[in-house]
Amino acid sequence: MIDWKSREIFSGLKVPQDIPIVVRVDGWRFRKFSMELELEKPFDRRLIEALANIPLKLIEGGFPILLAYTFSDEISFVLHPPIPWEGRVEKLVSILASYSSGHLSSTFGRPLSFDGRIILVRSKEEIIDYLTWRQSEAWRNTINSYALKALEEDGYTLKEASEILKGAKSKELHEIVFNKLGINVAKVPAWQRRGVIVKRVEVIKESRAGPVIRRRTRIDWEPPLFSTPEGREYLLDLLST
Ligand SMILES: Nc1nc2c(ncn2[C@@H]2O[C@H](COP(=O)(O)OP(=O)(O)O)[C@@H](O)[C@H]2O)c(=O)[nH]1
Ligand SMILES: [Mg+2]
């Protein structure tokens, strides 16, 4: 018989086990899913809450997540060492993507799935840089999604609206949204503009033996801008726990 174990040709693919890594999962065909489920446009609190609950549950279950960042239909998990499964790429990606899929499917009552990928980060600075990049995507997505809604309400089809938005500058998008919806995108709720952080915090609890430190998991609905000194300090603090 063929040595089938030797045909599992990617099982030896590993990331370093002794440094943090990032795994990002992204919803598959979520545009279609959000239309079918008639999710609120451009942002539906039910979706982001369900997404934020995924790392929350994983951390509470003991999975080594330093922090997670989520917006739209994606989650970036920053894992801390020792990285599980000796850093095996297949395990890390498939389990985080399938756990996320399972969780969201049960929340929305229909099959949903995520793809997954690993991002190599070589220092805390690089993790901050990576998260700053994703947060700038979140902001881009915010302006675009509101502008799309404005144009759709104006009678354009999704295809036409997307075409118009392709060539538009950020200032023009702001104007479209303000003129058609009366909304200042810079003032919409923070989670829509900046995304959401899931983090671990230490709280002091009173016990009979005196105060004790307990670890808790929290969802931060108003994270700072990561590109500012305040945002940097915020992330550095989370990365050093
Ligand atoms: N209505 C609605 N749609 C959302 C929300 N968050 C994400 N989406 C949808 O999910 C898509 C995510 O983008 P992308 O991953 O590029 O699209 P996909 O390939 O269809 O998953 C967006 O384009 C939106 O259509 C939300 O809060 N409300
Ligand atoms: Mg997607």
Question: Residues 135-150: what's their mean pLDDT?
Answer: 96
Residue 201 lies in a domain: no
- Evaluate whether residue 216 is within a structural domain: no
| Identity of residue 173 | L
Identify the pLDDT of residue 167. 84
Is residue 150 assigned to a domain?
yes
Contact yes or no for 26/96 (Cβ under 8 A): no
What does pLDDT average to over the chain? 96
- What's the rounded mean pLDDT across residues 140-169? 92
Nearest CA to ligand 1 atom 23: 31
Q: Is residue 144 part of a domain?
A: yes
Ligand with minimal distance to 33 CA: 1
Strands 65-71 and 114-119: unpaired
Atom index in ligand 1 nearest the CA of residue 40 equals 1
Q: Is 49 in the pocket of ligand 1 (CB under 6 A)?
A: no
Burial (Cβ within 10 Å: 0-12, 13-18, ≥19) of residue 10: exposed
Mean pLDDT calculated for residue range 75-83 = 98
Report residue 101 as tokens.
């899929």
How far apart, in whole angstroms, are the C-alpha atoms of residue 195 and residue 213? 28
Instruction: State if residue 43 touches ligand 1 by the CB under 6 angstroms criterion.
Output: yes
Q: Is residue 68 part of a domain?
A: yes
Q: How many domains does the chain contain in total?
A: 1
Decide if 179 is inside a domain: yes
Residue 30 pLDDT grade (very low, low, confident, very high; cuts 50, 70, 90): very high
Atom index in ligand 1 nearest the CA of residue 74 equals 15
Collect all residues with Cβ–Cβ distance below 8 Å to 144 and sequence separation of at least 6: 165, 173
Q: At what angle do helices 124-153 and 229-239 cross, to 10 degrees?
A: 120
On whether residue 223 sits in a domain, the answer given is no
Q: What is the CA(204)–ligand 1 centre distance, in A?
A: 39
Examine residue 219 and state whether it is found in any structural domain, yes or no.
Answer: no
| 209 burial type by CB count under 10 A (0-12 exposed, 13-18 middle, 19+ buried) | exposed
pLDDT of residue 96: 98
Residue 152 Cβ contacting ligand 1 at under 6 Å: no
How sure is the predictor about 158, in pLDDT bands with cuts at 50, 70 and 90?
A: confident
**What separation in Å is there between the alpha carbon of 136 and the centre of ligand 1?**
16
**Which of 25, 43, 72 for mutating ligand 1's site (highest number of atoms within 8 Å of CB)?**
72
29 CA distance to ligand 1 centroid (A)? 8
Mean pLDDT of all residues in 74-83: 98
Question: In a 10 Å sphere around its CB, with 0-12 CB exposed, 13-18 middle and 19+ buried, how is residue 164 labelled?
Answer: middle
- The angle, 0 to 180 degrees and rounded to 10, between the axes of the packed helices 89-108 and 45-60 is 130
Position in ligand 1 atom list of the atom nearest CA 47: 27
Cα distance between residue 130 and residue 135, in whole Å = 9
Q: What strands lie across the sheet with 196-207, from one edge to the other? A: 114-119, 21-27, 74-79, 65-71, 196-207, 210-220
Alpha carbon 126 to chain centroid, angstroms: 17
Report the alpha-carbon distance of residue 135 to residue 77 in Å, rounded.
14
CATH value at residue 121: 3.30.70.3000
Ligand 1 centroid–CA 26 distance in Å is 10
> Domain range for residue 118?
4-193
Structure tokens at 39: 């999710």
Which protein residue's CA is at the shortest distance from atom 25 of ligand 1? 31
Ligand 1 mutation target, pool 45, 73, 162, most atoms within 8 A of CB: 73
**Residues whose CB is under 5 A from ligand 2 (ion)?**
26-27, 30, 73
Q: pLDDT tens digits for 229-238?
A: 999 999 999 9
pTM of this prediction?
Answer: 0.96
